């Protein structure tokens, strides 16, 4: 499957860009002003799902605490992996 470096998603009625790029200091981030989610381009499989889920949760629920966002991202990624949806792994 070809890796798309940029895509667009809707979170509710808000249009967000999602991009993969090299981020040296952390795995991903979410810019509320720019409506931009970034994930490090070295992430794959469950780690990538976790980071994308994590940043999407921040994008929609920016004021919930970091531990809750971490817990949800990890749980979503595990559930996706458990369903066998990460075929490249």
Query: Segment contacting Zn ion (CB under 5 A): 7-15, 32-40, 42-50, 65-73?
Result: 65-73
Q: In terms of DSSP bridges, do strands 36-40 and 14-21 run parallel, antiparallel, or are they unpaired? A: parallel
In the complex with Zn ion, the residue whose CB is nearer, 18 or 69, is 69
Q: How far apart are CA 4 and CA 20, in angstroms?
A: 8
Query: Which residue has the closest beta carbon to Zn ion?
Result: 69
Query: Segment contacting Zn ion (CB under 5 A): 5-13, 15-23, 41-49, 69-77?
Result: 69-77
Phi/psi at 39 (5° precision): -130, 140
Per CB under 5 A, residues contacting Zn ion are 69
């Amino acid at each position: 499957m070809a890796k798309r470096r940029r895509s667009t998603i809707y979170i509710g009625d808000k249009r967000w860009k999602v991009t993969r790029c090299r981020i040296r200091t952390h795995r991903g981030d979410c810019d509320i002003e720019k409506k931009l989610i970034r994930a490090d381009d070295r992430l794959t499989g469950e780690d990538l799902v976790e980071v994308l889920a994590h940043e999407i949760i921040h994008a929609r629920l920016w004021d919930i605490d970091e531990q809750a966002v971490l817990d949800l991202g990890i749980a979503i990624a595990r559930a996706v992996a458990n369903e066998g949806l990460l075929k490249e792994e």
